[in-house]
C-alpha cells in the first residue's frame, strides 16, 4: 500500500462518537468517478479508478457535510473482502478482493484495480463512453466526529468498514438515518426541514396561490442577508437541502404567504401534490410529511398520504352504483 496522507488532524472542537453493540446499517456515498483508466498491463487489460476519496468535503447531505479521514479504512482493508457490484445490484457482482479486486491506499484516497475480463463488454463500453460515470461505496461506521460550529455541520468518518464499491449511473441522495442517529448521539440536531414561520392558516380556501419570489420577502440580494433572515424566509417553505439555505433557489414546496406567514390552502395542496417530484433524502420524507400533515389538520383535513384506502368491498359497491347509473 502507498503511504497515507499525514497532514490530516481532526478539528479541535469536535464531538466524537464510537458506535458499539449492534452493528450500524450500511451507508452509501456517491461521487464523480475519477482517474478511470482502461489499459493493458503485462498483456492483461485492467480497469482502475478511485473508490473512496480522502479529506474532501462532500456536497451538502441535508444539513451536514462529510469527509473521510485517511486512517478510516486502515483496519477495514487489513481484514476485509470488499466486493465490487454493478449498480449496487447483488445479482450483478463484478469481483471481490478474494478473486482479483485490488485496493490501494494513496494520499488522495482508496484506488481500485480489477481485470477488465470481470466486466461485460457492455459494462466496459458504458464506462469508456462516460455513460456510467459515478462511483459509490457502501460502508458501516465504527467511529465518527461532528463539528457543530460549522455551517452546515461537518461529519468526519474516523473508522469505517468498507463493504462494497459500485459504478453507478445515478447517485443516491447521501443523507441517511444512520448519520442522523450518530449526530443525535453527539448531541447535535440535524435539521431536515425548516422551522415553520407560522402555524396560522388563511381561512379562505379560494385565494389564488403563486409561489413566493425573493422580492416578495426583501429588496436585498440573497448574499446580503443574515443567516437569521435566510432562516425566516426558509420557514415559508417545506424543504431546503442546507440550513440556512445557500441560495433562494434551493427552497422548495412553498405554502406560506410571504406577507404574513399564513398557510394558504392552495399552496399547501400544491406542495403535497409535488412531493413525489421533489428530490428528498429518505431521512427527510417523514419529517416533511409530518410538517405538511400538521397544516392539513389545522384546516380540519387529513393529508392525502394518511387517508385510508377504500376497501375492496367499498370499491366493488362503487362500481355497482356506477353500472346501475349507466
Could you give the CA distance from residue 46 to residue 52 in angstroms, rounded to a whole number? 19
Cα radius of gyration rounded to whole Å, the chain: 24
Residue 323 has pLDDT above 70, yes or no: no
Alpha-carbon distance of 126 to 304, in angstroms, equals 41
CB 156 within 8 A of CB 67: yes
Average pLDDT value for residue range 302-326: 61
Omega of the bond leading into 312 within 30 degrees of 0 (cis): no
pLDDT at 14 over 90: no
Mean pLDDT to the nearest integer, 131-145: 89
Cα torsion through 237, 211, 272, 316, rounded to 10? 170
Lowest mean pLDDT among 12-26, 92-106, 112-126: 12-26
Q: Is the pLDDT of residue 30 over 70?
A: yes
pLDDT bucket at 38, cuts 50 / 70 / 90: confident
For residue 89, give the nearest of 28, 34, 32 by alpha carbon. 28
- Report, as an integer, the average pLDDT of 45-55: 91
- How is residue 277 written as a grid cell? 417530484
Please work out, in degrees rounded to the nearest 5, the angle formed at the alpha carbon of residue 316 by the alpha carbons of 313 and 322.
Answer: 145
Contact, 4 vs 71, CB < 8 A? yes
At residue 149 the predicted structure's pLDDT band, cuts being 50, 70 and 90, is confident
pLDDT at 10: 44
Contact 48, 35 (CB under 8 A): yes
Report d(CA 255, CA 303) in Å as an integer. 14
Q: What digits encode the pLDDT tens for the residues 243-294?
A: 778 899 999 999 999 999 999 999 999 999 999 888 887 667 877 888 899 8
Q: If you average pLDDT over every residue of the chain, what do you get?
A: 82
Distance CA 98, CA 110 (A): 17
Amino acid at each position: 500500500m502507498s503511504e497515507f496522507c499525514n497532514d490530516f488532524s481532526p478539528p479541535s472542537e469536535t464531538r466524537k462518537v464510537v458506535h458499539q453493540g449492534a452493528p450500524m446499517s450500511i451507508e452509501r456515498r456517491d461521487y464523480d468517478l475519477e482517474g478511470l483508466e482502461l489499459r493493458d498491463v503485462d498483456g492483461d487489460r485492467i480497469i482502475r479508478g478511485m473508490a473512496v476519496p480522502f479529506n474532501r468535503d462532500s456536497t451538502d447531505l441535508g444539513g451536514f457535510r462529510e469527509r473521510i479521514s485517511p486512517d478510516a479504512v486502515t483496519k477495514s482493508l487489513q481484514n476485509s473482502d470488499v466486493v465490487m457490484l454493478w449498480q449496487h445490484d447483488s445479482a450483478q457482482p463484478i469481483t471481490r478482493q478474494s478473486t482479483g479486486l485490488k485496493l490501494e491506499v494513496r494520499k488522495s484516497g482508496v484506488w481500485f484495480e480489477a481485470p477488465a475480463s470481470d466486466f461485460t463488454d457492455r459494462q466496459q463500453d458504458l464506462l469508456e463512453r462516460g455513460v456510467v460515470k459515478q462511483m459509490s461505496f457502501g460502508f458501516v461506521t465504527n467511529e465518527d466526529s461532528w463539528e457543530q460550529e460549522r455551517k452546515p455541520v461537518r461529519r468526519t468518518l474516523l473508522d469505517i468498514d468498507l463493504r462494497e464499491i459500485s459504478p453507478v449511473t445515478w447517485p443516491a441522495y447521501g443523507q441517511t438515518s444512520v448519520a442522523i442517529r450518530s449526530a443525535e448521539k453527539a448531541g447535535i440536531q440535524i435539521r431536515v426541514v425548516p422551522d415553520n414561520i407560522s402555524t396560522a392558516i388563511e381561512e379562505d380556501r379560494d385565494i389564488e396561490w403563486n409561489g413566493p419570489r425573493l422580492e416578495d420577502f426583501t429588496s436585498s440580494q440573497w448574499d446580503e442577508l443574515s443567516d437569521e433572515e435566510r432562516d425566516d424566509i426558509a420557514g415559508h417553505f417545506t424543504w431546503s437541502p442546507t440550513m440556512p439555505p445557500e441560495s433562494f433557489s434551493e427552497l422548495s414546496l412553498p405554502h406560506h404567504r410571504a406577507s404574513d406567514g399564513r398557510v394558504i390552502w392552495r399552496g399547501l395542496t400544491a406542495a403535497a401534490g409535488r412531493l413525489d417530484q421533489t428530490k428528498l433524502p429518505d431521512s427527510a420524507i417523514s419529517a416533511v410529511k409530518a410538517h405538511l400533515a400538521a397544516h392539513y389538520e389545522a384546516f380540519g383535513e387529513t393529508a392525502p398520504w394518511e387517508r385510508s384506502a377504500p376497501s375492496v368491498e367499498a370499491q366493488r359497491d362503487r362500481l355497482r352504483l356506477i353500472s346501475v347509473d349507466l
